[in-house]
């Protein structure tokens, strides 16, 4: 499907005992050389995905393919949780359903520790699906608006931030937060690629090094986008296809397509960039 290697920055571990093995086989077929397994701890609203312990077992079983993003529960855990996850071998951190807006300063010690340890953070943004269970958790989607990432990025410029779903439905906030902050990136996972047109995304991601209004670091807008699947292993191919359709429709140069598939994520993860 692709002439360049692929990194999947956003994948959840299913509950099946052999899910990691099935995922590994799918990645081999699709040319995915790294996949970030994003944990969500049991009891934290979304209970259908693997938590930190399950993700740790998976990336230790497949160390050349899988990287772990450990779940830190904002409003419950402190910065020591970040250190613990680092010591366990996790590469990055996952944040979702915070007790207060993401940029609440009570969370800043967590982000500061992540910056110190070089652990990127993947933030769920925007709307989350309703669940049959988990109503004891107070879900306030406006706490997860992409504009909240702006204050975090400016305060902790060496903390790499990946926002999920391009902020759905607050897309313009997400795009401008990416434009103004060199340490902020987004994936296009979720319903966005199904319900929004390539033209819509092209109009959001409009700047490059030649535009009158650009990014402080001179980056192209599409260099701020990474591939993330956020689906079951057997649906990854479909999401890859959607990304390809969008990139082709927006006439992205080969180097920008490579950035979306691989190069930007490789830099975030500290991997060798060809």
pLDDT digits (tens, 9 = 90+) for 149-207: 999 999 999 999 999 999 999 999 999 999 999 999 999 999 999 999 999 999 999 99
* Mean pLDDT along residues 227-250: 98
Residue 258 token pair: 């490579």
Type and span of the H or E element at 258 = helix 254-258
Counting Cα atoms < 13 Å in the Cβ hemisphere of 110 gives: 26
> CA-CA distance, 203 to 184, in Å (whole number)?
19
Binned at pLDDT 50, 70 and 90, residue 45 comes out as low
> CA-CA distance, 12 to 29, in Å (whole number)?
19
Per-residue pLDDT at 48:
72
In order of 4, 24, 94, 162, 241, the CA distances from 125 in angstroms are 28, 27, 11, 10, 23
> CA-CA distance, 262 to 274, in Å (whole number)?
10
Per-residue pLDDT at 44:
74
pLDDT tens-digit map of 63-112: 999 999 999 999 999 999 999 999 999 999 999 999 999 999 999 999 99
> CA-CA distance, 117 to 160, in Å (whole number)?
11
Number of neighbours of residue 2 by Cβ within 10 angstroms: 16
Binned at pLDDT 50, 70 and 90, residue 138 comes out as confident
Determine phi and psi for 45, rounding to 5 degrees. 75, -60
For residue 212, with 0-12 CB atoms within 10 Å meaning exposed, 13-18 middle and 19 or more buried, which class applies?
Answer: exposed
Q: Is the pLDDT of residue 219 over 60?
A: yes
Q: What percent of the chain has pLDDT over 70?
A: 95
In order of 26, 36, 156, the CA distances from 31 in angstroms are 9, 15, 34
* Mean pLDDT along residues 207-212: 92
Mean of pLDDT over the chain: 94
Determine phi and psi for 187, rounding to 5 degrees. -105, 170
Per-residue pLDDT at 129:
76
């Amino acid at each position: 499907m692709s002439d360049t290697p692929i990194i999947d920055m956003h994948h959840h571990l299913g509950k099946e005992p052999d899910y990691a093995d099935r995922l590994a086989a799918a990645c081999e077929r699709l040319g995915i050389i790294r996949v970030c397994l994003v944990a969500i701890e049991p009891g934290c609203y979304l209970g259908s995905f693997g938590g930190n312990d399950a993700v740790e077992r998976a990336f230790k079983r497949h160390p050349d393919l899988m990287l772990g993003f450990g779940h830190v529960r904002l409003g419950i855990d402190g910065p020591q949780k970040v250190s613990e996850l680092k010591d366990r071998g996790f590469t990055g951190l996952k944040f979702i359903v915070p007790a207060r807006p993401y940029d609440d300063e009570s969370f800043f010690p967590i982000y500061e520790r992540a910056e110190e340890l070089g652990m990127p953070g993947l933030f769920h943004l925007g709307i989350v699906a309703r669940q049959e269970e988990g109503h004891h958790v107070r879900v306030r989607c406006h706490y997860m608006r992409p504009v909240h990432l702006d204050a975090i990025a400016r305060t902790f410029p060496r903390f790499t931030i990946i926002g999920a779903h391009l902020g759905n439905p607050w897309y313009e906030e997400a795009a401008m937060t990416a434009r103004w902050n060199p340490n902020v990136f987004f994936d296009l996972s979720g319903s966005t690629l199904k319900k929004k047109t390539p033209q819509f995304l092209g109009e959001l991601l409009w700047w490059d090094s030649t535009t009158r209004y650009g990014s402080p670091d001179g980056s192209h807008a599409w260099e701020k986008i990474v591939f993330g699947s956020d689906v079951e292993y057997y649906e990854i191919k479909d999401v890859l296809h959607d990304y390809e359709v969008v990139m082709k429709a927006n006439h992205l140069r080969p180097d920008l397509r490579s950035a979306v598939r691989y190069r930007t994520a490789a830099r975030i993860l500290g991997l060798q960039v060809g």
